[in-house]
A and B are shown apart, each in its own frame.
Chain A
Amino acid sequence: MAKIIVITSGKGGVGKTTTSAALAMGLAQRGHRTVVIDFDVGLRNLDLIMGCERRVVYDFINVINGEANINQALIRDKRCDALYVLPASQTRDKEALTKEGVGKVLEELGRSFDFIICDSPAGIEHGATMAMYYADDAVVVTNPEVSSVRDSDRMLGILSSKSRRAEKNEEPIREFLLLTRYCPERVAKGEMLAVEDVREILSLDLLGVIPESKAVLTASNSGVPVILDIESDAGQAYGDAVSRYLGEELPHRFLEFKKKGFFSRLLGG
Protein backbone atom coordinates (compact mmCIF):
# COMPACT_ATOMS: atom_id res chain seq x y z
CA MET A 1 0.00 0.00 0.00
CA ALA A 2 1.30 3.39 -0.95
CA LYS A 3 2.15 6.13 1.48
CA ILE A 4 -0.06 9.18 0.97
CA ILE A 5 1.65 12.51 1.60
CA VAL A 6 -0.26 15.79 1.53
CA ILE A 7 1.58 19.03 0.79
CA THR A 8 -0.44 21.70 2.54
CA SER A 9 -0.19 25.15 4.11
CA GLY A 10 -3.45 27.04 4.47
CA LYS A 11 -1.94 30.18 3.00
CA GLY A 12 -1.47 30.55 -0.75
CA GLY A 13 1.74 31.32 -2.57
CA VAL A 14 4.09 29.78 -0.03
CA GLY A 15 5.41 27.06 -2.35
CA LYS A 16 3.10 24.05 -2.11
CA THR A 17 3.20 23.21 -5.81
CA THR A 18 6.94 23.88 -6.08
CA THR A 19 7.41 21.56 -3.09
CA SER A 20 5.05 18.89 -4.44
CA ALA A 21 6.93 18.82 -7.74
CA ALA A 22 10.33 18.76 -6.04
CA LEU A 23 9.53 16.07 -3.47
CA ALA A 24 7.76 13.87 -6.03
CA MET A 25 10.70 14.09 -8.42
CA GLY A 26 13.16 13.46 -5.57
CA LEU A 27 11.34 10.33 -4.39
CA ALA A 28 11.00 9.02 -7.95
CA GLN A 29 14.69 9.66 -8.69
CA ARG A 30 15.53 7.46 -5.73
CA GLY A 31 13.62 4.64 -7.39
CA HIS A 32 10.24 4.90 -5.66
CA ARG A 33 7.22 4.73 -7.93
CA THR A 34 5.58 8.07 -7.26
CA VAL A 35 2.46 9.86 -8.47
CA VAL A 36 1.76 13.52 -7.76
CA ILE A 37 -1.88 14.65 -7.84
CA ASP A 38 -3.12 18.21 -8.31
CA PHE A 39 -6.11 18.85 -6.02
CA ASP A 40 -6.51 22.47 -7.09
CA VAL A 41 -9.61 21.96 -9.24
CA GLY A 42 -10.32 25.02 -11.37
CA LEU A 43 -6.85 26.50 -10.89
CA ARG A 44 -4.52 23.71 -11.89
CA ASN A 45 -0.84 24.57 -12.00
CA LEU A 46 1.08 21.47 -11.10
CA ASP A 47 1.16 20.44 -14.78
CA LEU A 48 2.85 23.75 -15.58
CA ILE A 49 5.45 23.42 -12.81
CA MET A 50 6.12 19.83 -13.92
CA GLY A 51 6.38 20.91 -17.55
CA CYS A 52 3.69 18.56 -18.86
CA GLU A 53 0.89 21.07 -19.49
CA ARG A 54 0.62 20.20 -23.17
CA ARG A 55 0.23 16.51 -22.52
CA VAL A 56 -2.92 16.77 -20.39
CA VAL A 57 -5.79 14.82 -21.98
CA TYR A 58 -7.88 13.53 -19.09
CA ASP A 59 -7.82 14.73 -15.50
CA PHE A 60 -8.53 13.71 -11.92
CA ILE A 61 -12.24 14.61 -12.14
CA ASN A 62 -12.65 12.59 -15.37
CA VAL A 63 -11.31 9.59 -13.49
CA ILE A 64 -13.56 10.18 -10.47
CA ASN A 65 -16.59 10.45 -12.77
CA GLY A 66 -15.64 7.34 -14.72
CA GLU A 67 -15.13 9.26 -17.98
CA ALA A 68 -11.59 7.97 -18.26
CA ASN A 69 -9.61 5.26 -16.54
CA ILE A 70 -6.63 6.05 -14.38
CA ASN A 71 -4.05 4.97 -16.97
CA GLN A 72 -5.52 7.33 -19.57
CA ALA A 73 -5.21 10.27 -17.17
CA LEU A 74 -1.75 9.62 -15.72
CA ILE A 75 1.09 11.48 -17.45
CA ARG A 76 4.47 9.78 -17.27
CA ASP A 77 7.33 12.17 -16.60
CA LYS A 78 9.80 12.33 -19.48
CA ARG A 79 12.80 12.78 -17.21
CA CYS A 80 12.06 10.04 -14.71
CA ASP A 81 10.30 6.76 -15.45
CA ALA A 82 9.09 6.24 -11.88
CA LEU A 83 7.17 9.54 -11.79
CA TYR A 84 3.59 10.21 -12.93
CA VAL A 85 1.38 13.30 -12.76
CA LEU A 86 -2.39 13.33 -12.32
CA PRO A 87 -3.57 16.80 -13.32
CA ALA A 88 -6.56 18.67 -11.91
CA SER A 89 -9.50 19.73 -14.00
CA GLN A 90 -9.36 23.30 -15.23
CA THR A 91 -13.07 23.66 -15.92
CA ARG A 92 -15.00 21.75 -13.29
CA ASP A 93 -16.29 22.80 -9.95
CA LYS A 94 -14.24 21.72 -6.95
CA GLU A 95 -17.34 20.05 -5.50
CA ALA A 96 -16.71 17.31 -8.07
CA LEU A 97 -14.08 16.01 -5.64
CA THR A 98 -16.16 13.68 -3.52
CA LYS A 99 -14.77 11.83 -0.54
CA GLU A 100 -15.77 8.47 -2.05
CA GLY A 101 -14.44 9.36 -5.49
CA VAL A 102 -11.08 10.55 -4.18
CA GLY A 103 -10.85 7.50 -1.93
CA LYS A 104 -11.46 5.14 -4.83
CA VAL A 105 -8.82 6.77 -7.05
CA LEU A 106 -6.25 6.77 -4.22
CA GLU A 107 -6.96 3.13 -3.50
CA GLU A 108 -6.43 2.20 -7.13
CA LEU A 109 -3.19 4.22 -7.31
CA GLY A 110 -2.07 2.69 -4.04
CA ARG A 111 -1.87 -0.72 -5.68
CA SER A 112 0.83 0.31 -8.14
CA PHE A 113 2.68 3.19 -6.46
CA ASP A 114 4.96 3.59 -3.43
CA PHE A 115 4.18 7.24 -2.80
CA ILE A 116 1.14 9.39 -3.60
CA ILE A 117 1.80 13.12 -3.23
CA CYS A 118 -1.32 15.27 -2.90
CA ASP A 119 -0.74 18.90 -3.87
CA SER A 120 -3.35 20.78 -1.84
CA PRO A 121 -4.99 24.02 -2.94
CA ALA A 122 -4.70 27.04 -0.63
CA GLY A 123 -7.35 27.70 1.98
CA ILE A 124 -9.21 25.34 4.27
CA GLU A 125 -12.18 24.73 2.01
CA HIS A 126 -13.36 21.60 0.25
CA GLY A 127 -10.37 21.04 -2.06
CA ALA A 128 -7.86 21.41 0.77
CA THR A 129 -9.78 19.10 3.10
CA MET A 130 -10.11 16.50 0.34
CA ALA A 131 -6.35 16.66 -0.32
CA MET A 132 -5.51 15.93 3.32
CA TYR A 133 -8.37 13.57 4.23
CA TYR A 134 -6.66 10.29 3.31
CA ALA A 135 -3.09 11.37 4.16
CA ASP A 136 -0.63 9.30 6.16
CA ASP A 137 1.93 12.10 6.32
CA ALA A 138 1.64 15.88 5.93
CA VAL A 139 4.29 18.35 4.84
CA VAL A 140 3.26 21.79 6.08
CA VAL A 141 4.88 24.40 3.85
CA THR A 142 5.45 27.63 5.74
CA ASN A 143 7.12 30.97 5.04
CA PRO A 144 8.89 32.73 7.95
CA GLU A 145 6.13 35.32 8.08
CA VAL A 146 3.28 35.83 10.57
CA SER A 147 0.24 35.07 8.41
CA SER A 148 1.79 31.94 6.94
CA VAL A 149 2.76 30.60 10.38
CA ARG A 150 -0.72 31.26 11.73
CA ASP A 151 -2.40 29.57 8.77
CA SER A 152 -0.07 26.58 9.12
CA ASP A 153 -1.15 26.23 12.72
CA ARG A 154 -4.81 26.28 11.69
CA MET A 155 -4.06 23.62 9.12
CA LEU A 156 -2.43 21.48 11.85
CA GLY A 157 -5.70 21.70 13.77
CA ILE A 158 -7.63 20.51 10.73
CA LEU A 159 -5.17 17.67 10.09
CA SER A 160 -5.66 16.41 13.62
CA SER A 161 -9.45 16.63 13.65
CA LYS A 162 -10.87 16.23 10.15
CA SER A 163 -8.72 13.56 8.53
CA ARG A 164 -9.69 9.95 8.00
CA ARG A 165 -7.14 8.92 10.60
CA ALA A 166 -8.70 11.29 13.13
CA GLU A 167 -12.24 10.14 12.34
CA LYS A 168 -11.30 6.48 12.63
CA ASN A 169 -9.25 7.04 15.79
CA GLU A 170 -6.17 5.68 14.08
CA GLU A 171 -2.61 6.81 14.63
CA PRO A 172 -2.53 10.53 13.74
CA ILE A 173 -1.03 11.93 10.54
CA ARG A 174 2.73 12.48 10.84
CA GLU A 175 3.33 16.20 10.39
CA PHE A 176 6.51 17.82 9.11
CA LEU A 177 7.52 21.45 8.74
CA LEU A 178 9.10 22.64 5.52
CA LEU A 179 10.21 26.24 5.79
CA THR A 180 10.51 27.96 2.41
CA ARG A 181 11.74 31.34 1.15
CA TYR A 182 14.18 31.54 4.04
CA CYS A 183 16.62 34.48 4.03
CA PRO A 184 19.54 33.84 6.43
CA GLU A 185 20.75 37.40 5.88
CA ARG A 186 17.47 38.93 7.07
CA VAL A 187 17.31 36.49 9.96
CA ALA A 188 20.81 37.58 11.03
CA LYS A 189 19.58 41.19 11.02
CA GLY A 190 16.57 40.27 13.13
CA GLU A 191 14.17 41.12 10.33
CA MET A 192 12.85 37.63 9.76
CA LEU A 193 11.64 34.84 12.01
CA ALA A 194 14.39 32.28 12.46
CA VAL A 195 13.85 28.62 11.69
CA GLU A 196 13.99 27.79 15.40
CA ASP A 197 11.28 30.38 16.15
CA VAL A 198 8.88 28.86 13.63
CA ARG A 199 9.66 25.33 14.73
CA GLU A 200 9.07 26.30 18.34
CA ILE A 201 5.75 28.07 17.65
CA LEU A 202 4.36 25.20 15.59
CA SER A 203 6.18 22.47 17.55
CA LEU A 204 6.83 20.36 14.48
CA ASP A 205 9.64 18.18 13.21
CA LEU A 206 11.68 20.07 10.64
CA LEU A 207 11.89 18.34 7.27
CA GLY A 208 13.88 21.06 5.58
CA VAL A 209 14.62 24.72 5.05
CA ILE A 210 14.54 25.98 1.47
CA PRO A 211 16.40 29.26 1.05
CA GLU A 212 14.91 32.12 -0.97
CA SER A 213 16.42 31.42 -4.35
CA LYS A 214 16.37 32.67 -7.91
CA ALA A 215 16.50 29.06 -8.99
CA VAL A 216 12.84 28.53 -8.03
CA LEU A 217 11.53 31.05 -10.57
CA THR A 218 14.00 29.91 -13.20
CA ALA A 219 12.80 26.34 -12.69
CA SER A 220 9.10 27.19 -12.88
CA ASN A 221 9.69 29.36 -15.96
CA SER A 222 10.91 26.30 -17.80
CA GLY A 223 8.70 23.64 -16.21
CA VAL A 224 11.52 21.81 -14.46
CA PRO A 225 11.12 20.79 -10.80
CA VAL A 226 13.76 22.84 -8.96
CA ILE A 227 15.22 19.70 -7.36
CA LEU A 228 16.70 18.88 -10.79
CA ASP A 229 18.81 22.06 -10.59
CA ILE A 230 21.46 20.38 -8.49
CA GLU A 231 23.77 23.37 -8.73
CA SER A 232 21.27 25.57 -6.92
CA ASP A 233 20.88 26.01 -3.16
CA ALA A 234 17.12 25.42 -3.34
CA GLY A 235 17.58 22.26 -5.41
CA GLN A 236 20.10 20.87 -2.93
CA ALA A 237 17.91 21.81 0.03
CA TYR A 238 14.96 19.93 -1.51
CA GLY A 239 17.27 16.97 -2.16
CA ASP A 240 18.22 16.96 1.52
CA ALA A 241 14.54 17.15 2.51
CA VAL A 242 13.75 14.06 0.42
CA SER A 243 16.64 12.15 2.00
CA ARG A 244 15.48 13.19 5.47
CA TYR A 245 11.95 12.07 4.68
CA LEU A 246 13.35 8.67 3.73
CA GLY A 247 15.09 8.44 7.08
CA GLU A 248 18.56 9.84 6.54
CA GLU A 249 19.93 12.19 9.17
CA LEU A 250 21.41 15.23 7.51
CA PRO A 251 22.40 18.59 8.95
CA HIS A 252 20.34 21.55 7.70
CA ARG A 253 22.24 23.64 5.19
CA PHE A 254 21.92 27.24 3.96
CA LEU A 255 20.90 28.55 7.40
CA GLU A 256 23.95 30.71 8.01
CA PHE A 257 24.58 34.07 6.47
CA LYS A 258 28.20 34.57 5.56
CA LYS A 259 29.10 38.01 6.76
CA LYS A 260 30.96 40.20 4.34
CA GLY A 261 34.15 41.87 5.44
CA PHE A 262 34.12 45.42 6.70
CA PHE A 263 35.50 46.90 3.48
CA SER A 264 33.08 45.18 1.18
CA ARG A 265 30.23 46.44 3.39
CA LEU A 266 31.64 49.93 3.36
CA LEU A 267 31.93 49.92 -0.38
CA GLY A 268 28.46 48.44 -0.79
CA GLY A 269 29.90 45.43 -2.59
Chain B
Amino acid sequence: MGLLDLFRAHRHKGTASIAKERLQILVAHDRATRNQPSYLPQLQREILEVIRKYVDVDMNSVSVNYEQDETREVLELNIILPDAPAAKGI
Protein backbone atom coordinates (compact mmCIF):
# COMPACT_ATOMS: atom_id res chain seq x y z
CA MET B 1 0.00 0.00 0.00
CA GLY B 2 1.44 3.35 -1.00
CA LEU B 3 1.04 6.86 0.30
CA LEU B 4 -1.93 7.59 -1.94
CA ASP B 5 -3.92 4.62 -0.68
CA LEU B 6 -3.42 5.87 2.84
CA PHE B 7 -5.36 9.04 2.03
CA ARG B 8 -7.89 7.22 -0.09
CA ALA B 9 -8.70 4.86 2.76
CA HIS B 10 -9.56 7.84 4.93
CA ARG B 11 -11.73 9.50 2.33
CA HIS B 12 -14.50 6.94 1.95
CA LYS B 13 -15.63 4.59 4.64
CA GLY B 14 -16.00 0.94 3.81
CA THR B 15 -19.08 -0.56 2.22
CA ALA B 16 -19.31 -3.52 4.61
CA SER B 17 -21.76 -1.66 6.85
CA ILE B 18 -24.04 -1.01 3.87
CA ALA B 19 -23.90 -4.71 3.01
CA LYS B 20 -24.81 -5.66 6.57
CA GLU B 21 -27.75 -3.28 6.69
CA ARG B 22 -29.13 -4.44 3.33
CA LEU B 23 -28.77 -8.07 4.32
CA GLN B 24 -30.48 -7.62 7.65
CA ILE B 25 -33.54 -6.10 5.98
CA LEU B 26 -33.57 -8.67 3.19
CA VAL B 27 -33.14 -11.69 5.43
CA ALA B 28 -35.86 -10.49 7.80
CA HIS B 29 -38.20 -10.07 4.83
CA ASP B 30 -37.27 -13.44 3.31
CA ARG B 31 -37.84 -15.18 6.62
CA ALA B 32 -41.23 -13.54 7.08
CA THR B 33 -42.42 -14.71 3.66
CA ARG B 34 -40.94 -18.16 4.23
CA ASN B 35 -43.21 -18.79 7.19
CA GLN B 36 -46.35 -17.80 5.34
CA PRO B 37 -48.89 -20.43 4.47
CA SER B 38 -48.50 -21.55 0.88
CA TYR B 39 -52.10 -20.70 -0.03
CA LEU B 40 -51.48 -16.96 0.39
CA PRO B 41 -50.74 -16.01 -3.27
CA GLN B 42 -53.78 -18.00 -4.45
CA LEU B 43 -55.91 -16.34 -1.76
CA GLN B 44 -54.73 -12.93 -2.93
CA ARG B 45 -55.63 -13.71 -6.56
CA GLU B 46 -59.07 -14.99 -5.71
CA ILE B 47 -59.89 -12.07 -3.42
CA LEU B 48 -58.84 -9.74 -6.18
CA GLU B 49 -61.13 -11.49 -8.66
CA VAL B 50 -64.10 -11.09 -6.35
CA ILE B 51 -63.38 -7.41 -5.75
CA ARG B 52 -62.97 -6.83 -9.47
CA LYS B 53 -66.50 -7.94 -10.04
CA TYR B 54 -67.61 -4.79 -8.28
CA VAL B 55 -64.77 -2.28 -8.35
CA ASP B 56 -61.91 -1.57 -10.74
CA VAL B 57 -58.75 -2.33 -8.78
CA ASP B 58 -55.45 -3.66 -9.95
CA MET B 59 -53.20 -6.32 -8.49
CA ASN B 60 -51.06 -3.84 -6.57
CA SER B 61 -54.02 -2.42 -4.69
CA VAL B 62 -54.52 -5.60 -2.74
CA SER B 63 -51.98 -6.69 -0.19
CA VAL B 64 -52.22 -9.73 1.98
CA ASN B 65 -49.99 -9.82 5.02
CA TYR B 66 -49.41 -12.68 7.28
CA GLU B 67 -47.81 -12.32 10.67
CA GLN B 68 -47.15 -14.85 13.30
CA ASP B 69 -46.02 -14.57 16.88
CA GLU B 70 -46.01 -17.11 19.65
CA THR B 71 -49.65 -16.85 20.57
CA ARG B 72 -51.51 -15.88 17.42
CA GLU B 73 -51.53 -15.60 13.67
CA VAL B 74 -52.75 -12.45 11.95
CA LEU B 75 -53.97 -12.34 8.38
CA GLU B 76 -54.18 -8.73 7.31
CA LEU B 77 -55.97 -7.71 4.14
CA ASN B 78 -55.48 -4.25 2.74
CA ILE B 79 -57.40 -3.05 -0.31
CA ILE B 80 -56.93 0.39 -1.74
CA LEU B 81 -60.07 1.45 -3.57
CA PRO B 82 -59.75 3.89 -6.47
CA ASP B 83 -60.54 7.59 -5.80
CA ALA B 84 -63.73 7.69 -7.79
CA PRO B 85 -65.14 4.21 -7.43
CA ALA B 86 -66.47 3.19 -10.81
CA ALA B 87 -69.19 0.76 -9.95
CA LYS B 88 -69.51 -1.92 -12.58
CA GLY B 89 -73.25 -1.54 -13.20
CA ILE B 90 -74.74 -3.97 -10.76
Q: Which of B2, B9, B22 contacts A146 (CB 8 A)?
A: B22
Contact A191 B15 (CB under 8 A): yes
Tell me whether A265 and B16 are in contact (CB under 8 A). Answer: no
The yes or no answer to B13 lying at the interface (CB within 8 A) is yes
Q: With A157-B34, A265-B1, A268-B1 as given contacts, are A193 and B16 in contact (CB-CB < 8 Å)?
A: yes
Q: How many residues of A contact B (CB 8 A)?
A: 23
Known contacts A265-B1, A266-B3, A268-B1; is-contact A193 B19 (Cβ 8 Å): yes
Distance in Å from the Cβ of A158 to the closest Cβ of chain B?
Answer: 9
Residues in B with CB closer than 8 Å to A191 are 14-16
A44 at the interface (CB under 8 A from B): no
Which residues of A are found within 8 Å of B17, using beta-carbon distances?
A: 190
Among A193, A265, A268, the residue within 8 A (CB) of B20 is A193
Shortest Cβ distance from A152 into B: residue: B27
**Residues on the B chain within 8 Å of A266, using CB:** 2-3, 6
Helix, strand, loop or mixed for chain B's interface? helix
Chain B residues contacting A187 (CB-CB under 8 Å) are: 16
B24 within 8 A of A: yes
Main secondary structure of the interface of A (DSSP, over half): helix
Number of B interface residues in the complex (CB < 8 A) = 20
Interface residues of A in 168-223 (CB under 8 A from B): 187, 189-194, 197, 201-202
Q: CA A150 – CA B24 in complex, angstroms?
A: 10
B43 within 8 A of A: no
Q: Are A268 and B2 closer than 8 Å at their CB atoms?
A: yes
A192 to B14 alpha-carbon distance, docked (Å) = 8
Could you tell me if B31 and A197 are in contact, using CB atoms closer than 8 angstroms?
A: no
Q: Is B23 an interface residue (CB 8 A)?
A: yes
Which residues from chain A contact B20 at a C-beta distance below 8 Å?
193, 197, 201
Question: Can you name the residue of chain A whose Cβ is closest to the Cβ of B2?
Answer: A268
Min distance, Cβ B28 to any Cβ of chain A, angstroms: 9
Known: A153-B30, A153-B31, A268-B2. A201 touches B16 (CB 8 A): no
Q: List chain A residues, Cβ under 8 A from B9.
A: 189
Q: Which residues of B contact A (CB under 8 A)?
A: 1-3, 6, 9, 13-17, 19-20, 22-24, 26-27, 30-31, 34
Given known contacts A189-B9, A193-B19, A265-B2, what 7 new A-B pairs fall within 8 Å (CB)? A150-B30, A157-B30, A189-B14, A190-B14, A201-B23, A266-B2, A268-B3
